[in-house]
Structure 1
Amino acid sequence: MANDAAAKPLGVVSTNTMSTKKPGDAPKKREKMPKTVTKVLKNHAKLANGRPPTATKPQASLSHKKTRDQIRLHHVLSKQLAAAEAKGDDAEADELKKRIEDLGGLKSYQLASLQGQAKDRGGDSSTVLMEWLKPLAAQMAKREQKIRLLEVGALSTANACSKSGLFDIERIDLYSQAEGILQQDFMERPLPDSDKSQFDIISLSLVLNFVPDPEGRGQMLRRTCQFLNKHARRAFGEELQAVYPALFLVLPAPCIVNARYINEERLTTMMSTLGYVMLERKLTANLVYYLWQLRDKPRKDFQDFPKKQVNPGAGRNNFCVVLK
């Protein structure tokens, strides 16, 4: 991060020379610099006075726009691929797979996601979760057995949750980017066979929106219920019981606030059908964060949520979650 304090100049090189002007010579007009040169020099001066010299060149990184565009393009191509495979169009599917590979495949997407999660981009969505859990931190720290967290789509082992020391974390991702992250598809993870293999909280941060089809997104939300331990809360204190077991869900804001087939009311009703209650919500310009507590089993009179237009109008996106 740039230092706001002005750095003192290390030295000044004099540009004065002995005058060669003869008596009676008319004073020369000062030659104007081109505007572009003047602008560059002014900007250089501002930079010199605004930050200290660095010993190493800053690491090259994708611009914010390029990162966002790269992630969005992966999403679009993945959706098109899923549609082509669903209708059995092998030629189109092969062409889309080639385009995805030309972009660098899933590895390229994950690197773009890592770039987007960097601190200088305002990333690491788990900082929001830690803000919400701050009132419980003292109680969580006292526990002999740490709160068990399953982080789906983990990109780093050094995010806010990891640094807190409050969790026993299991991290999984389709394409592991670091040691300590198991390469695994959450949808293919074996179902827990005991309370010990369940979790107190699951993180789905910018994961649901990457599932290529609406039915798959619904299945993912339903599947989280099977991995959360509803029995362990009996051993929790009253305050912890009011939060756990929980699901931390993060989505791009347009998926909820500007989608044709889903809005927050519909999402809340869906989650209620699964047994979830919303505890926390935060909306920013780019993201929407939720903390849901799983309080009940999925309702027996389960309501289907097909693809249905709930927010008509031009300029809406087609993000959708189908729950059956």
Structure 2
Amino acid sequence: MNKISFLDCLLQNANFELMAPKKKGPAKRLAAGRPPVLQRSKSISRRATKALINKHHLLQKRKRQAIAKGNAVEEAAIETEIKALGGIEGYQEASLQGQRHDRGGDSSQVLMKWLEPCVSTHGTDSDRRLRMLEVGALSTQNACSKSGHFYIERIDLNSQGDGILQQDFMERPLPRDESERFDIISLSLVLNYVPEPKDRGEMLRRTAQFLRAPERYLESPHLQASFSSLFLVLPAPCVTNSRYLDEERLVAIMKSVGLPPWTMEPGGPGLPCGTARSVRTPPTWEFLELGRCPDWCPESDGIPDLAAPAIPLK
């Protein structure tokens, strides 16, 4: 048996092809062999963001009017327009763009500025964190989330990702005891999105039911002045440029459900919204002195329906 040399074995098992010598090109950089970097989606301009949000609200208003008139054809046409804008997802994306640092940042930065003096001495241990309910949450990375002072439950009608429960606040089961209530609730650009005025009033009334009793903080003087609280953010025109609502009426409505505004800050170039912080107190009915009309204070059997005060935001 003939012996096969090691070289013969290599030659027999290799699949060599005669090829013309290649011209050497410039040496490639090391990065050329790496997978492509994930590119961030293009941001929407400030003007386009504002236009999309305003258009969305206008279409929602027209849709409600079409439904009230029983005009199914017009309702379907408007719904098509809403979908063409991206629907609720497009609206949320525009809202997220507005929370970018170069657009003024998220509104919870204002809340943290207000609360920092009292929560800074409270500690951030897990058993001492304050309970927060964020309604209409779009992100898990806002200022409150990063502060470490809160145990946060986040809910939204159309969840944008992990850490946000898809839930309608108006259908959330009422708390059975103090352990299921919250030290603070955030309604940032939520109330103005509720279609019907009476439902806006019901949302505020419901919010008060989810807040812990003021007596809970008697043994914590550093928290007593600020909790339990509602953090409310509205587009500034809802208060400054509305036929139905001004700051005086808003304050009266908040008082009527036991949430008188404690701190208010108007919108500006860096914060295009009006913000208010309310501390829970026993309910009063002062807003009834402002006068009554079907859209303002619905009545039942001659008695004002205090369970659902209407808030006709623009």
Asked if Structure 1 and Structure 2 have the same fold, meaning a TM-score greater than 0.5 normalized by the shorter chain, the answer is yes
- The amino acid across from 2:274 in the alignment is V
Name the CA shift for 1:61/1:305 in 2 (closer, same or farther; >3 Å): farther
5+ residue gaps, structure 1:
1-54, 309-319
- What do you get for the CA RMSD once the two structures are aligned? 2.3
117-126 vs 231-240, greater mean Cα deviation: 231-240
5+ residue gaps, structure 2:
1-36, 297-309
TM-score (norm 1): 0.73
1:213 and 2:213 are equivalent in the alignment = no
Contact 2:132 2:153 in 1 (8 A): yes
Distance 2:243 2:101 in 1: 32
1:256 and 2:239 are equivalent in the alignment = yes
User: Which one of the candidate residues 53, 68, 73 is aligned to 2:55?
Assistant: 73
The share of aligned pairs that are identical, in percent, is 49
Q: Deviations over 1:194-213 (max 9, x none)?
A: 21111111000111111122
Q: Deviations over 1:274-320 (max 9, x none)?
A: 11222111113221110000111x33788386446xxxxxxxxxxx8
Alpha-carbon shift at residue 190 of structure 1 (Å): 1.4
- The amino acid across from 1:189 in the alignment is R
TM-score (norm 2): 0.76
Q: In structure 2, what is the equivalent of residue 321 of structure 1?
A: 311
Contact 2:244 2:312 in 1 (8 A): no
User: Which one of the candidate residues 266, 274, 296 is aligned to 1:283?
Assistant: 266
Distance 1:177 1:129 in 2: 22
1:222 and 2:214 are equivalent in the alignment = no
User: Which one of the candidate residues 53, 77, 92 is aligned to 1:95?
Assistant: 77
Contact 1:233 1:244 in 2 (8 A): no
Distance 1:156 1:232 in 2: 32
User: Which one of the candidate residues 120, 138, 143 is aligned to 1:160?
Assistant: 143
Alpha-carbon shift at residue 142 of structure 1 (Å): 5.8
- The amino acid across from 1:101 in the alignment is K
Distance 2:287 2:265 in 1: 28
- The amino acid across from 1:190 in the alignment is P
1:171 and 2:154 are equivalent in the alignment = yes
Q: Deviations over 1:168-219 (max 9, x none)?
A: 1000011111210011111111111221111111000111111122222112
1:132 and 2:114 are equivalent in the alignment = yes
Contact 1:205 1:249 in 2 (8 A): yes
Distance 1:127 1:301 in 2: 31
Once the two structures are superposed, the pairs formed by residues 238-249 of structure 1 within 5 Å of their partners are: 238-249=221-232
1:63 and 2:73 are equivalent in the alignment = no
Aligned length: 257
- The amino acid across from 2:155 in the alignment is I
Alpha-carbon shift at residue 83 of structure 1 (Å): 2.4
Query: Larger Rg: 1 or 2?
Result: 2
Alpha-carbon shift at residue 232 of structure 1 (Å): 6.3
- The amino acid across from 1:115 in the alignment is Q
